[in-house]
Amino acid sequence: MKGWLALLKKELRLTRSVVWTGIVLMIVIYLFNHVFVSQTGLDQTRLGPAAGLLFLHIFYLPVYMLISLQAETRHMHLWLHHPGSGWMLMGTKLLSGILAFVLSLAVTLVLTGITLYPDIAQNRSELLSFFPLIVTSILHLAGYGVYLAVWFVFLWTVYQILKSRIGKWSWLAIAALLLISFRLLHLIREAAWYRQVTQWGMIQLDLAKWLDAFFPGQVPGTNPVINLYAGEYAFYVLLSVVLFWVSGWMLDRKVEV
């Protein structure tokens, strides 16, 4: 346990400058937008930075893992000779990335709340009806970010293996692997057995109800309802666990310095 905590502290120190640089950059963007709105009176642009930065958080964890793992390549022999397993090494980085993601997302939400405070105060009762949608969106943002990060870890580990064997052709092999993986996932999702296995635990998101609360009388007649299935979430969680397990196994046994 002490070894794992020491590894986590080392990881947090390794990436803290990048994390804080990102947070300072977000604050600067919000301040610039505030000055822009104050000078031009274009209130409709206030939501622009919030929407853009929230969307970009989907890629926060993959980019974090890229920066963190690339930092390790400078002294790969020391990292790989750590007594911890490959799963511990990768898991520590992923956990550190999740902590950084939570901090960055929290700062983004606070800055968004400050920016939109006049609207929030005026439409508080209406906005409360959006709370389930907001929570659902944040959970999907985090989940998709973790899923992409696990895929990146897998591809990075494969690249490290191939680099010592086929050299400059490694990038081409990774691109081919990525395309094959996407095609295989598409075929799986289109298969009848996939729908039979995953379409259970249906969760309905009634967008019409939330949109009507904020835009009364302006919602079109067709009720936009999104059907989500717990089975599909289970599938992607299982896939992420398998990819992460394989990455840790390869890091222990196949990656060479």
Domains of the chain: total: 1
Q: What pLDDT, on a 0 to 100 scale, did the predictor assign at position 185?
A: 92
Q: Which helix (H) or strand (E) segment is 219 a member of?
A: none
Q: Which residues contact 225 (CB under 8 A, 6 or more apart)?
A: 204, 205, 206, 207, 208
Largest alpha-carbon pair distance within the chain?
Answer: 64
Within 8 A by CB and 6+ apart from 113, the residues are 120
> Is 231 within 8 Å of 195 (Cβ atoms)?
no
d(CA 130, CA 137): 11
Q: Which domain holds residue 28?
A: 2-253
What the block records as the tokens of 7 is: 């590894």
Other CB atoms within 10 Å distance of the CB of residue 69: 20
Helix axes 207-214, 131-166, angle to 10 degrees: 120
Strand partners, 205: 226
pLDDT for the residue numbered 245 = 92
pTM: 0.85
Distance CA 243, CA 155 (A): 9
Q: Which residues pair with 202 in a beta bridge?
A: 229
Q: What separation in angstroms does the CA of 179 have from each of 175, 182, 240?
A: 6, 5, 18
The whole-number pLDDT of residue 126 equals 62
Q: What is the pLDDT of residue 214?
A: 53
Mean pLDDT per 10-residue interval, the chain, length 257 residues: 75 86 88 77 68 87 90 74 77 91 90 73 64 80 93 92 83 92 92 88 71 54 71 92 92 68
Radius of gyration of the chain (CA): 22
